[in-house]
Structure 1
């Protein structure tokens, strides 16, 4: 049962909305018409209308012979919930490098600790695919770069990217 302390834990009933929109968290707010003049179903003496309708995908329901609820995920918060390691960053690893020899001659061990181990980083398959397809993890705007040269009693000057060459 989804009723907990007198209300539904799945946030039903949903509010009426004239068109589908995306919330600040990146989760969708689906279109739910207020059809007050249409017939309402009653269950346990509680009127049921469009606020209680659960969105589903008919293709997935037919393919898997089950009722499958599907929602759109479109923001970092939603993606982080699904693949939490996409926005986590890189993991560190210490790896050892060995040279394999095909000949059965006596090997000379030349042990150099600095050359033998490397500090590396590795990423998971989701992050690698995300980077290869060049999807932005977060919204970006133009960069503001302050030049390190500063004259005494001078003012800071900022250039637009396309105006820098003509102004100089």
Structure 2
């Protein structure tokens, strides 16, 4: 295996641990089967890798261009309140994947697509299913999927590539003019992907009848579509929440569901002015028993029947072409990973703002994310590519 700069005698930290985490039929190593200890191991190894990169950035501060941090107006714009701190910031550059500036750059790049191609048409979210057969068949009889983050992320990435093939090559929703997607990891660890698709003008949707061809929010016929019926029951039923389950995780302090379930009945899909459409949810008396409660069409999460039946996981599909304020959609998918936000103020005027330390103190790393980054899988993609034009200031 070629190592650093092609030198076969040396490998990087990431290359070494990526090699250690491979699945081999003739390998008697028990590293991958240590259960929760393996989860801790991969997190520690990724934190070691990330710390090495951040330490390098800390030692190279003088090499970075920081003119925009030296101006009074620009410093106030970034939230600086102490004049003594102008130009005294430990800088975490935008090229560091996952950092605040990197996520903001992704957001700005995604918004650039809107200027060229217009508003997005489809918002799609796919979440990993730990019970996929591809995962189950590679587990030992006593193993749980949560203790094999390496296996989980490998299968999810394979499913992601197949989803991209359906969306971008087979064009199941129509020809795509531009798209962006971002990988995120929930606190419980499972990866999920947010897609935003901008269709070509001849494939855009303008009337509710076209929405119904792509998105469904009803329970399918159990006799005609038994497989789809099982998928909707397993993956696409929200809650129950509200009066049926006041302690559900989606409930707010005011006793309401943050996702506004259950929805209202509607005989037809209605196009709204500035939100997602009100999808067809007929009051036909069909109900499914989910978590000890009988739920009807008002609890169904919007989905595409073909993708749901094929991928066997939670896969939410929404029509967003009518939304005027598309800014919040792009901010939502580019918000970055879960982190704890806190700040301790000091009256010491010489106190230096350390962006690297702030990032490390607030970072939340789950085992699947650690393995994903060790394998150097992509954290997102945008096409067509966005080229950044550098602005050169006078006297610098």
Q: Which has the larger radius of gyration?
A: 1
TM range (shorter): 0.3 to 0.5
Per the normalisation by structure 2, the TM-score is 0.20
Per the normalisation by structure 1, the TM-score is 0.42
With a CA cutoff of 8 Å and minimum separation of 6, indicate the structure with the bigger relative contact order.
2
More helix by share: 2
